[in-house]
Amino acid sequence: MKIALIGNQNCGKTTLFNQLTGSNQHVGNFPGVTIESKVGYIYKDKNLELIDLPGIYSLSPYSKEEVITRDFLIEENPDVILNIVDATSLERNLYLTLQLQETGIPLVVALNMMDELEKSHLSLNLTRLKEFLKVPIIPISALKKEGLKELVDQVKNVQQNFSICYYSDDSKLYPFIAESENLIVTDYKESKINRLFITTQILEGNLEFADKYGIAQDTIDKLNKLKSKIEQSYNLDCEAVIVNFRYQVIEKIIDSCLKRETFETEEQKRSRKIDRFLTNRYLAFPILFLILGSVFYLSFGVIGNTLSTIFEQIIASFISFIDVTFFYDVNVVLRSLVIDGVLNGIGSVLTFIPTILVLFLFLSLLEDSGYMARIAFIVDKPMRFFGLSGKSFVPLLLGFGCSVPAVMATRTFNSDRERRMTIFLVPFMSCSAKLPIYAVLTAAFFGNKAPFVMMFLYGLGIVVSLIFSLIVKVLFKSVPPPFVLELPSYRFPSLKSTGMLMKERCKDFLKKAFSIIFLATIVVWFLQSFDLQLNYVTDSSVSLMAMMAKSISPFFQPLGFNQWEIISALITGLIAKETVLSTLQILLGSIDTIHQLLGPLEVMSLLIFILLYMPCVAAFAAIKRELHSTFDAILHMLLQTSIAWLCAYFFYVIGGLLI
């Protein structure tokens, strides 16, 4: 069975998917966590394929995720739709349920968060709700794994299509709907999709359905005349008439099935009280800066730096043990490859796992608590000044972790202009792969001031991106689209979800360290150990790597650094930014010797260039895929590297004048 898991954003859909499939998809208290479909098997049963589709509010294609979900239903022909509904927000969730019912695909409703419904002084008459919808409804709590067995049993046994009769409640609209259905009967190609859904989609203006299902042009003309009659009868746009009708049905259901002692749940009351401070007109930004400043200071300073120092000592002891025990009297080339190339190269990167995990711990806590959505709301107004909306904030913040998922997160944008702009700005956000480079170089040159220098670099990336977007806004007179965001209730972060995210990040980091970085360190070692005639050299300045780097060194001369070792590290950084550090470790023997090559001003110029120049090949591939254009992706990379060069140049020149 092919089962489509569909529901509103932030209704517990990914949590249910994880519970049923044993998957480790990221779960967050933030709308839009799922940006593409994911597949798993219910309780590992290969006969029960579950597809987790993006969270949506309707099947009318106003956003890309709604297009993905709707197209999946009509093209992939799932056997069952598993519609997860937030029991505490029935008014909002049932609109999608009614549309799913119109498709005619067998439907099972999972009524989630029933435990929270009881805490919220709400009373739901489940029997009456089933009578209204005429579909199986199973009460569950995905988080607590309650009701899941009954849900799976119902999904496996559902076989028949369910009749849809609620349009007949409106005697004024029903004849028009019935007449529209009759018009397309002769042209309609047989499909699992009910004619009612095709009819309502065409009446709502989605004419691609007419082409897909072979509706002739003369039939479309008749439907258009019928639309005009509907609009005259209601004095409203036809789409608005159908939307209003669905909400009238929902209102009847709510009035009949739901009784409430209060119009606010306990969570909503608590959230409103907290928001008096966190989204206050005057306090919001000071609190935001205090929270984010604390996150970065603790991650890069007090906690992260301490743990990384301990981890560094452990790795250094391990490498020393391997060297003394196994390579005491071994061939010099082999020892150089294993100790100087592989172990020192990878070890220099691995020491920063604790810092990266601490950063992701704090970001996960902010997301799970519901505060991340508030940040997007808070920054919407100032971001509009720069030609963006609060929606851009989410991918940009993800960019501090990794540019690849950040670029993919723009798929949910309705505005192509804002999507393209955000994709371009994402690489300016300093990804976690650059963190080890900052940590080592700032600690070597700035001592106790290192955390503040790192915060300056992160802030500079944001400032540069905003200035660029402002220039684009002025030049092209672009206006950001309206921003609509659902603010979830505040919740205590889930330790399981947080641990899962940290585990996945650590796994990704280790996978990269022992694949891309491993191969890169071997390549770097080879290039710096052999000359053009493939003779092993002890002086790296005559190696293949030195020859390549020296050929482009004049390009970097105005920035204050043109040493071939530094340029070589920048080149390998295109594979993965972590390899900048491992390359320096291999070429210099020890990072401490970088003092012999650069001073503090030159190091700051280098750090600014590393911050802003083109991202790794994985991010480039993601940008190319999302823009559907190799030319545009290359243009992005060239423009970004040019901006990096200019920023580093101005800093070096102005810094030199001041000093």
CATH number of the domain residue 66 falls in: 3.40.50.300
pLDDT digit string (tens) for 184-213? 776 666 667 788 888 888 888 877 777 777
Residue 33 has pLDDT above 60, yes or no: no
Domain co-membership, 300 together with 197: no
Query: What pLDDT score was predicted for residue 67?
Result: 78
Decide if pLDDT at 643 tops 90. Answer: yes
In a domain, 552, yes or no: yes
Is 508 within a domain? no
Tell me the pLDDT of the chain averaged across its residues: 82
Structural domain includes residue 254? no
Q: Is residue 30 part of a domain?
A: yes
**Per-residue pLDDT at 150:** 93
Same domain, 201 and 134: no
Residue 156 — φ and ψ, nearest 5°? -65, -30
Better-scored residue on pLDDT, 417 or 496? 417
Question: Do both 328 and 355 map to the same domain?
Answer: yes
Beta bridge partners of 260: 122
> How do residues 241-298 score in pLDDT, each as one tens digit?
888 888 888 988 888 888 876 656 677 788 888 989 888 888 988 998 898 888 877 8
Do 307 and 454 share a domain, yes or no? yes
Q: Which residue has the tokens 């191969």?
A: 519
Residues 136 and 197 in one domain: no
Q: What is the pLDDT of residue 29?
A: 45
Q: How many domains does the chain have?
A: 3
| Cβ contact 648:611 at 8 Å | no
Distance CA 202, CA 197 (A): 9
Q: How far apart are the first and last CA of the chain?
A: 71
- CA atoms of 399 and 405, how far apart (whole Å): 8
| Domain around 189 | 166-235
- pLDDT(504) > 90: no
- Assign 498 a pLDDT band (cuts: 50, 70, 90): confident
Question: Does residue 642 carry a pLDDT above 90?
Answer: yes
| Statement: residue 113 has pLDDT above 60 | yes
pLDDT above 70 coverage of the chain, percent:
90
The CA distances from residue 142 to 118, 324, 417, in Å, are 15, 54, 38
- 427-433-439-445 Cα dihedral, nearest 10 degrees: -60
In CATH, what number is assigned to the domain containing residue 180?
1.10.287
Taking phi over 0 as left and psi of -120 to 50 as alpha, with beta for the rest, 628 belongs to left
Does residue 248 lie within any of the structural domains? no
Residues 311 and 402 in one domain: yes
Assess contact for 364 and 578: CB atoms under 8 A: no
Q: Token pair for residue 280?
A: 């206050």
- Same domain? For 177 and 210 the reply is yes
Q: Is 256 inside any structural domain?
A: no
CA 257 to CA 303: how far, in whole Å? 52
What is the tens place of the pLDDT at every residue in 507-552? 777 776 677 777 777 887 788 788 888 888 877 778 888 888 888 8
Q: What is the DSSP letter of 490?
A: P
Quote the pTM value: 0.65
What is the pLDDT averaged over residues 410-424? 80
Q: What is the pLDDT of residues 36-61, one digit of tens each?
A: 668 888 888 888 999 988 888 888 76
The answer as to whether 277 is a domain residue is no
Tell whether 143 and 174 lie within a shared domain.
Answer: no
